[in-house]
Amino acid sequence: DIQMTQSPSSLSASVGDRVTITCQASQDISNSLNWYQQKPGKAPKVLIYGASNLQTGVPSRFSGGGSGTDFTFTISSLQPEDIATYYCQHYDNLLRVTFGPGTKVDIK
Amino acid sequence: QVQLVESGGGVVQPGRSLRLSCATSGFTFSYYPMHWVRQAPGKGLEWVAFISSDGNSKYYADSVKGRFTLSKDNSKNALYLQMNSLRAEDTAVYYCARDRRVDHYDTLDMWGQGTMVIVSS
């Protein structure tokens, strides 16, 4: 089974800061990697699909990159409304899903 | 607009059963594969199960295999999760989510609000 890891597990940054989260797969997953945002008490929301494609309606300050085993998720200028936990997610060719452990983002 | 509404959660004793439902509207349910994802209190997201659009293919996480059964009623636009032999570690918010393929990438693009299951004696 493919395992997903994320780092850091949590971070604090100031409004306007650039924030980067990394996600690593235990084996090559090409670009079958999505990123989700989950605010407290809410369901997750997909932000990035296919490693680097911005979901419709998602602000352009969010971006993703990488392929193979190493991926990044970036918020170019952190906003107060971005306080949330972010998860990477892989799906295999049978659409079985694996989530990373999550990264909690706070405002400093 | 697209809506997914879970129901059926509650408090249940270990070893007992519970059936969750996910009522959908605003899209052609029969076209879409669906998933259940759960989240234990204070923990991360855990994928539970997948069902294909026609209901013929189903996959389960190892943690629930043999205990949970997923079904899809395209005539009622509804998804069900039959949970048997429940354990304390099944305590979580359970979300149903739609799988949508965009540019040959799959995402869980729409989610319900979740229903809480508490397994406790």
Mind telling me how many Å the CA of B118 is from chain A's nearest CA?
Answer: 17
Q: Tens of pLDDT along A12-32?
A: 999 999 999 999 999 999 999
State the Cα–Cα distance between residues A69 and A63, nearest whole angstrom: 17
Q: Is A1 a residue whose pLDDT tops 90?
A: no
Phi, psi (deg, nearest 5) at residue B28 = -80, 95
Residues recorded for chain A: 108
Q: Tens of pLDDT along B86-107?
A: 999 999 999 999 999 988 899 9
**Count of H helices and E strands in chain A?**
0, 11
Q: Tens of pLDDT along A30-66?
A: 999 999 999 999 999 999 999 999 999 999 999 999 9
Count of CA atoms in the C-beta half-sphere (13 A) of A6: 26
**Chain A residue set in contact with B, beta carbons under 8 Å:** 31-32, 34, 36, 38, 43-46, 49-50, 53, 55, 85, 87, 89, 91, 94-102
Q: Using a CB–CB cutoff of 8 Å, tell me whether B105 touches chain A.
A: yes
Across the interface, do B108 and A97 touch by the CB < 8 Å criterion? yes
